[in-house]
Amino acid sequence: MIINNVACIGVGTIGHSWATLFAVKGCNVSIYDVNIEVSQNSLKNIKASAAFLAEMGLIERKVAETAPDKIRITEDLSECVAKADYIQESTFESYDVKQKVFLEIDRINSDAIIASSTSGLLMSKIQKNAAKPERCIVAHPWNPPLLLRLVELVPGETTSQQTIRKTYEFMKDLGKIPVIVKREIPGFIGNRLQAALWREALSIIENGIATVEDVDRVICAGPGARWAIMGPFLTFHLGGGPGGIEYLIDNIQQSMSEWYNSMDDWKSIPYHAARKAIEEVKQLPKTKEKTFKELTEWRDKKLVKVLRIQEDSNHEDGPVAQHG
Ligand SMILES: NC(=O)c1ccc[n+]([C@@H]2O[C@H](COP(=O)([O-])OP(=O)(O)OC[C@H]3O[C@@H](n4cnc5c(N)ncnc54)[C@H](O)[C@@H]3O)[C@@H](O)[C@H]2O)c1
């Protein structure tokens, strides 16, 4: 490990999952959350997540048992970051909140890398007033960071090459698959793609073309099953038969123009579409039958199976290897 001492600022959904990963990989992890109840609860969540990894055979039982000893919870931000070499910020998705946290860290620790979990904010804006902006970078995980290996590294205008390199190496040490985004853009890569798909999903609901349940079914039974092992480009290459992607583009582009021309191009989510989606999601059999906790446990067990299949299809870079 090129980094041993990590601080996690904000330990909600994403932060506590990061903290578990850092701890099971052997790092000393200090935790701070502005909400004391959340930080106190995080230890229970971290123990449960580590036990889950052991139950799934992803880590040794002994590692799960000792991981909580690596965690130190503090109610003082200064104490949390003072000795850290790497700081993972996972607070609210707001420039205001993140800029203030970065400035507070500046006053106490001047050497550590500060990485933000932001889903799509620009590092150039977050690091704008920082004393040492060169040490600030986006390290955007996918939920749950404990299982999904992708991390998008997005430097801001003043992030140094050294910060990019060291963060990349640390992520590799953790078993992650880091992808460096070449040019900073809101939403980075994964969330831009996700947002494009979700706009059309909402439009389909709003226009009465299908239900929420059927849109989810279409994704899981169709494209989603393929996306677990290959991205959209390789998928289309195979869709073209022996003529590959060239044949496919030649043959589908006219038809696809008609699809594009009939699509909504909303720039924000219309209120009515959002309400409709929320109401229908609440009525899904799974959300009615299971509590939120049961649903996340169900998702994580299924995800481990998917990750194992991915590992089989690409042995060296297999996602389960994050814990191997
Ligand atoms: N939820 C996801 O699927 C997901 C995925 C990838 C990245 N992210 C990003 O990760 C970050 C955290 O998201 P989340 O889903 O964990 O949110 P969350 O609301 O579950 O957790 C955020 C935590 O930050 C704490 N917090 C807020 N201000 C703080 C401050 N000034 N100092 C210390 N703690 C503070 C809150 O008390 C809360 O516990 C966001 O930037 C989000 O966009 C979320």
Ligand 1 atom with least separation from CA of 93: 41
How much is the pLDDT for 318? Answer: 54
State residue 313's pLDDT score. Answer: 74
Cβ(14) – ligand 1 distance below 6 Å: yes
What is the Å distance from ligand 1's center to 75 Cα?
Answer: 17
CA dist 174 and 168 (Å) reads 10
Half-sphere exposure of 133 (CA within 13 A, CB side): 15
Scored b (16 or more CB within 10 A) or e, 153-175 reads: bbbbebbbeebbebbbebbeebe
The pLDDT tens digits for 197-210 are 999 999 999 999 99
Q: What is the distance between the alpha carbons of residues 186 and 194, in angstroms, rounded to a whole number?
A: 13
- Distance in Å, CA 237 to ligand 1 centroid: 38
CA distances from residue 265 to 198, 200, 235, 316 in whole angstroms, order as listed: 12, 9, 25, 40
Please indicate whether residue 92, judged by its CB atom, sits closer than 6 Å to ligand 1: yes
CB 184 within 8 A of CB 154: yes
pTM: 0.96
* pLDDT value, residue 29: 98
Superfamily (CATH) of domain 190-323: N-(1-d-carboxylethyl)-l-norvaline Dehydrogenase; domain 2 (1.10.1040.10)
Residue 48 alpha carbon to ligand 1 centre in Å: 20
Per-10-residue mean pLDDT for the chain, 324 residues long?
96 97 98 96 96 97 97 97 98 98 96 98 97 98 97 98 98 97 98 98 97 98 96 97 97 96 95 97 97 96 95 64 79
Q: With 0-12 CB in 10 A as exposed, 13-18 as middle and 19+ as buried, what is 310? A: middle
pLDDT tens, position by position, 125-147: 999 999 999 999 999 999 999 99
**At residue 53, what are phi and psi to the nearest 5 degrees?**
-60, -40
Residue 258 to residue 262: CA distance in whole angstroms:
6
Cα-to-centroid distance, 93 and ligand 1 (Å): 7
Alpha carbons 159 and 168: distance in angstroms, whole number? 13
Residue 34, ligand 1, Cβ within 6 A: yes
Closest protein CA for atom 43 of ligand 1: 119
- Give the residue range(s) of CATH 1.10.1040.10 domains in the chain: 190-323
CB 118 within 8 A of CB 104: no
Question: Looking at domain 5-180, which of 3.50.50.60, 3.40.50.720, 3.20.20.70, 3.30.465.10 is its CATH number?
Answer: 3.40.50.720
Count of beta carbons in the 10 Å neighbourhood of residue 285: 8
* Residue-level length of the chain: 324
Q: Using a CB cutoff of 8 Å and minimum separation of 24, what contacts does 269-278 make?
A: 269/199, 269/202, 270/202, 270/206, 272/206, 273/202, 273/203, 273/205, 273/206, 274/202, 276/205, 276/206, 277/202, 277/205, 277/212
Ligand 1 close to Cβ of residue 13 (< 6 A)? yes
The segment(s) of the chain belonging to CATH 3.40.50.720 are 5-180
Helix (H, G, I), strand (E, B) or coil at 146: coil
Euclidean distance between CA atoms 203 and 40, whole angstroms: 41
Instruction: For tokens 């935790």, name the residue.
Output: 31
Sheet containing 113-116: order of strands: 71-73, 28-32, 5-9, 86-89, 113-116, 136-141, 150-155, 177-180
d(Cα 134, Cα 252) in Å, to the nearest integer?
45
- The pick from 119, 121, 137 for probing ligand 1's pocket by mutation, whose C-beta has the most ligand atoms within 8 angstroms, reads 119
For residue 22, count other CB atoms closer than 10 A to its CB.
29
Does ligand 1 lie within 6 Å of residue 119's CB atom? yes
